[in-house]
Amino acid sequence: MSNNENIVWHEHQVSKQERSKLKKQKPCILWFTGLSGSGKSTIANAVESRLLELQKHTYLLDGDNIRMGLNYGLGFSDEDRVENIRRIGEVAKLFVDSGLIVLSAFISPFQREREMVRKLVKRDEFIEIFIDTPLEVCQSRDPKGLYEKARKGEIPNFTGISSPYEAPDKAEINIKTDKMSLEESVEKIVTYLEKNGYFSGE
């Protein structure tokens, strides 16, 4: 017997469309994916600041922070990473329903889970942004010193070293941080949103 048997979905009186119209924007998830040190956090933060300047309503879900709260206790086995992304996907969906432009910055190494999140929302509400930085570049940046630890065997299942990363094959936006400045990356993402009607709440 499913434990959902006596649970009934409620339609709310105020709709997503009404909330979005008030905010003068089309809600969506900007799903950043890429290796550790690829630039997900840096770019997502810069995009959020730019959106704030444009008077857009946003929320940033960021890897390390979510793992300290909502996903406290989840590790880096394949199984825990799947659960991590599943929960984040559900939270992102709620925020989209609230009318926000959601930015999420997780490695999200598996194609299947990214596709699962894509299917949680409407077709144009999921924008996959591949932070396409070569592993060697991430390793040389090593902003948190984690690659060095992983190479010494001090961190098991480290993405790119001892755990896989499946690169997206149909991301809406591709960002090569070894060839583009932070400003160019922000511009590319914000221009995509503008051209595709995300800055209008009709």
Ligand X SMILES: Nc1ncnc2c1ncn2[C@@H]1O[C@H](COP(=O)(O)OP(=O)(O)O)[C@@H](O)[C@H]1O
Ligand Y SMILES: Nc1ncnc2c1ncn2[C@@H]1O[C@H](COP(=O)(O)OS(=O)(=O)O)[C@@H](OP(=O)(O)O)[C@H]1O
Shorter beta-carbon distance to ligand X: residue 34 or 99:
34
> By the criterion CB under 6 A, which residues form the site for ligand Y?
36-37, 41, 63-64, 67, 76, 81, 84-85, 106-109, 144, 146, 155, 157-159, 163
Phi, psi of 77 (to 5 degrees): -70, 165
DSSP 46-109: HHHHHHHHTT--EEEEEHHHHHHTTTTT--SSHHHHHHHHHHHHHHHHHHHHTT-EEEEE----
Residues in region 100-139 near ligand X by CB under 6 A: 105
16 versus 176: smaller Cβ distance to ligand X? 176
Write out the H or E segment, with its range, that includes residue 29. strand 28-33
Q: 20, 104, 108, 185: which is the annotated catalytic residue? A: 108
Asked whether 40 and 60 are in contact (CB, 8 A), the reply is: no
Using CB under 6 A as the binding rule, whether residue 177 contacts ligand X is answered as yes
The verdict on whether residue 40 carries a ligand-binding annotation is: yes
Residue 73 is assigned to a ligand binding site: no
Separation of alpha carbons 76 and 81, rounded Å: 6
Q: Judge whether 131 and 32 are in contact, CB under 8 Å.
A: yes
Residue 74 marked in a binding site: no
Exactly one of 41, 108, 139, 159 binds ligand X (CB under 6 A); that residue is 41
Note if 108 is an active site residue. Answer: yes
34 among annotated binding-site residues: yes
What is the distance between the terminal CA atoms of the chain, rounded to a whole angstrom?
43
Residues annotated within a binding site for ATP: 34-41
Binding site for ligand X (CB under 6 A): 34, 36-43, 105, 141, 143, 177, 180-182, 185
Q: Report, as residue numbers or ranges, the catalytic residues.
A: 108
